Structure 1
Amino acid sequence: MFRITLLTQTDCGLCEHAKQVLDDVGNDYDLHVTEIDLHSDIGRRLAQDARVLFAPGVLLDGEPFGHGRLSERKLRRTLRRRHDRH
């Protein structure tokens, strides 16, 4: 199982895109997605630690993966590599 933390904000089109990508990828990989508001205390802390400049921010297993438009191709490639290692 892969743990995804999604840092979002309201009225964010890229956040909605990221949620759709995660739904699609979740059909092929076991994902546990936690959505956290970027403006909450924990959201601000996670964003600062991960150097997320704007929403959406994505952490994969607690490590920074990216922010802004989520690339489904990059995510699938990363998950495939991690899956193949185990």
Structure 2
Amino acid sequence: MTRQRRQIILLTQADCALCDHAKRVLVRVAADHPLAVEEIGLDTPAGRDLAVRHGVLFAPGVLLDGTPFGYGRLSEKKLRKALTRHAPPRTHE
């Protein structure tokens, strides 16, 4: 049995140190949790729409399975805890 892949949308902007930090956190977390990460720029219509709909005030914004997780400095500990606590059911392969 394997764990289902969790969907992460990362809303970013150019020259953003916190965005670079979030990308590094996601790489580390993905080593332990199956993640599908999609990066969307806040300078795109899709990025602006997601930011407005989910209350992302500044980059980086993180949506976990379509739900707002946070924005600004991404906490690796908080993300790991959320992924463990709200893990989807295992599937048979």
The TM tier, using the shorter chain, reads over 0.9
Question: Rg: which structure is higher?
Answer: 2
Q: Which runs of 5+ in 2 are unaligned?
A: none
Distance in 2, matches of 1:63 and 1:49, equals 10
Superposition TM-score, scaled by structure 2 size: 0.89
Q: Which aligned segments of 4 or more residues in structure 1 are displaced greater than 6 angstroms?
A: none
Indicate the residue corresponding to 2:55 in structure 1.
51
Indicate the residue corresponding to 1:39 in structure 2.
43
Q: Which runs of 5+ in 1 are unaligned?
A: none
State yes or no: 1:8 paired with 2:12. Answer: yes
For this pair of structures, how many residues does the alignment match? 85
Q: Percent identity?
A: 58
State yes or no: 1:21 paired with 2:25. Answer: yes
Q: CA deviation at 1:82?
A: 1.4
Hey, which of these two has a bigger chunk of helix by percent? 1
Give the root-mean-square deviation of aligned CA atoms.
Answer: 0.8
